[in-house]
Structure 1
């Protein structure tokens, strides 16, 4: 087997399309746009068995003042909750013994690739459901557990509805009688204003994001990225939601509550119905790691799924991670350290 940098967009995207675990985050243009707006260098690694590509491993590198990081996904303003390597169709259909053999080979080849020089801080967060990180644990990597919400869309709509909390059902009926309407839009201005306000809040330990980043992404993926607004009968905006509609219908980012009425709840209900009508089998609601959002999101009776992060850092890397998580991403320091709000 060999590890190589891939420089062909079609080869990369075809692999993502065929992989069971490939997400929109893994697509070539998404990663190149992320590179452009984060200041990290995109490294499109591929692992080959002979001429066959069996794994892709998107990484982002940054070096400054002798300190190096290697991450997947990059931090700060990328708004990518998970990324990591994905395996190809051969892995998806293999027996368990073959899967473990392939993962061991991938981990060993990649370990050799980054060994010299080793980054001060290395972290990879894998997609939900990809849980076999044993080889990385054997190599001495640390592991962290993250969570996401998923709603199964295969049952009848009436059965999904009956699983909602009684309070949610009451609120949805109330809003439905008030003439609310949903609109899919290409106008990013209102969405960005709402997201910028939320992300710049001192209480939110989440990054700031540039408007140009969103504009480039929505321009690159007009069919896979959706932007939805909910209006009341008077034309007032009451809900905002950005989605990813690729393999899984994902509620990617939304605005905080915008009115006294439960507009966000009704918007998510309408989007659930839309996703089911379009044949999606799952709807993911990103944000299960945020305690402030759990009560709201759990009203829809989702299942809890986990996704895993593996990482390793030396002393300098531990100091840098602590500084970002406890200082730079919170409070007034956010705007000083990350000047991305326009």
Structure 2
């Protein structure tokens, strides 16, 4: 008989053992994201474990998001591209989903959102406006290099000829990266994720979360967050100063992480999510070819329609235009307070 329990810190080792042994587990299923959601974003984590005869047969990490306008969501998981139910069978998936919906009703939640590459064979509305790109790696990085078209190789060479260098490190590099990231987010008209959020990721995953900086002489002009899980490397956040884009710092960043991945035996590089046919979509497509569909599935509890936070919506276009005009100090102060409402 399947038993669903709410987990506490004492179950962390057993939870992560299941994640590391499961072929269907994603990076976001690691227990450490529970602490990131709580300490870095201020969301209430709700972690469910399915057991059968004392053996873990499924897990579901979620975060309860409360907005300032008093709407509530259950998300698996905010910010990161992957999440949802990881389970051994369809029966376990159904049991975990049923408990999630019950919890959603208890907390008067509008909807439960599962983010995943996979889709569940249940009657759930699905958003398919997001994709990711994954590049297959090789122990010989020249094999990967030869798979790029001439234009991409020339842009990477331009970064090298411009004298750009990269530095990989831990939390000590966060201030330099975050300074660039803050500026870039304001330039895009997007509220910035908080410094504390990135700090919590680097603290929680000291061995698998790193910062990479791209430097022109000694000046950091670009940077990114690098994560690893099993045989996959991820760069979910990256930014560069516009005035230095002529040196191709983004190409230097991605190519150096890809080379590192090849040399260290990783099998894939994940570029992070993009909206179909957006500028970031087109940039990533030149590296990795065909997009991989992301499926965001919903259990609608307190509403009848799918949520729609779309930059093409006229009201969001106005918000983006206004945010770009904010003084940098105001955007940096308000950003983390605003963005946590839009997971």
Instruction: Provide TM-score, normalisation by structure 2.
Output: 0.80
Residue 59 of structure 2 is aligned to residue 56 of structure 1: yes
Asked if structure 1 preserves the Cα contact closer than 8 Å seen for 2:202 and 2:209, the reply is yes
- 1:54: Cα distance to partner? 0.9
In the TM superposition, what whole-angstrom CA distance separates every residue of 1:220-279 from its partner, at most 9, and x where no partner exists? 2121011111223x3233331211012210112100354121121022111101001111
Are 1:70 and 2:74 an aligned pair? Answer: yes
SS in 2 for 1:53: strand
Which one of 310, 320, 323 corresponds to residue 297 of structure 2? 310
Q: Is the 8 A contact 1:70 1:119 kept in 2?
A: no
Task: Find the counterpart in structure 1 of residue 178 from structure 2.
Answer: 192
Comparing 116-125 with 234-243, which one deviates more in the overlay? Answer: 116-125
Equivalent in the alignment of 1:143? 126
Shift of 1:281: 0.5
**Contact 1:25 1:31 (8 Å CA) reproduced:** no
* Paired residue secondary structure (2:24): coil
CA distance in 2 between partners of 1:192 and 1:159 (Å): 33
Instruction: Identify which of 105, 127, 130 aligns with 2:116.
Output: 127
Partner of 2:223: 240
Matched, 1:265 2:254: no
Alpha-carbon separation, structure 2, partners of 1:195 and 1:52: 43
Preserved contact between residue 166 and residue 253 of structure 2 (Cα < 8 Å): yes
Identify which of 262, 267, 275 aligns with 1:281. Answer: 267
State how far apart, in whole Å, the 2-side matches of 1:224 and 1:13 are: 14
Q: State how many pairs are aligned.
A: 317
Greater shift in the superposed pair: 221-230 or 159-168? 159-168
Gaps of 5+ in 1: 92-98
Q: Give me the whole-angstrom Cα distance separating, in 2, the residues matched to 1:288 and 1:339.
A: 21
CA contact (8 A) 1:238 1:264 kept: no
Change in CA separation of 1:68 and 1:252 when aligned onto 2, cut-off 3 Å: closer
Alignment partners' CA distance in 2, 1:177 and 1:66: 53
CA shift in 2, pair 1:271/1:68, >3 Å: closer
What TM-score do you get using the length of structure 1 for normalisation? Answer: 0.80
Measure how far apart 1:218 and its partner are. 0.8
CA gap of 1:102–1:167, structure 2 versus 1, over 3 A, is same
Change (3 A) 1:56 1:271: same
Residue pair 1:230, 1:239 contacting (<8 A) in 2 also: yes
Aligned to 1:82: 82
Is the Cα contact below 8 Å between 1:85 and 1:126 reproduced in 2? no
Structure 1 residue 103: Cα displacement: 3.7
Q: CA deviation at 1:165?
A: 2.4
Aligned to 1:4: 5
- For residue 252 of structure 1, give the secondary structure of its aligned residue in structure 2: strand
How far is 1:339 from its partner?
4.3
In 2, the alpha carbon distance for the partners of 1:124 and 1:58 equals: 11
- Structure 2: unaligned runs, 5 residues or longer: 338-343
Q: Is the 8 A contact 1:44 1:59 kept in 2?
A: yes
- Report 1:95-134 matches (<5 A): 99-108=89-98, 110-111=100-101, 113-114=102-103, 116-117=105-106, 119-128=108-117, 130-131=118-119, 133-134=120-121
Instruction: Name the residue aligned to 2:22.
Output: 19
**2:270 paired with 1:292:** no
| Residues 94-114 of structure 1: CA deviation (Å, up to 9, x unaligned) | xxxxx4455445445555x44
Aligned CA RMSD, in angstroms, stands at: 3.2
The 3 A distance-change label for structure 1 pair 323 and 183 is closer
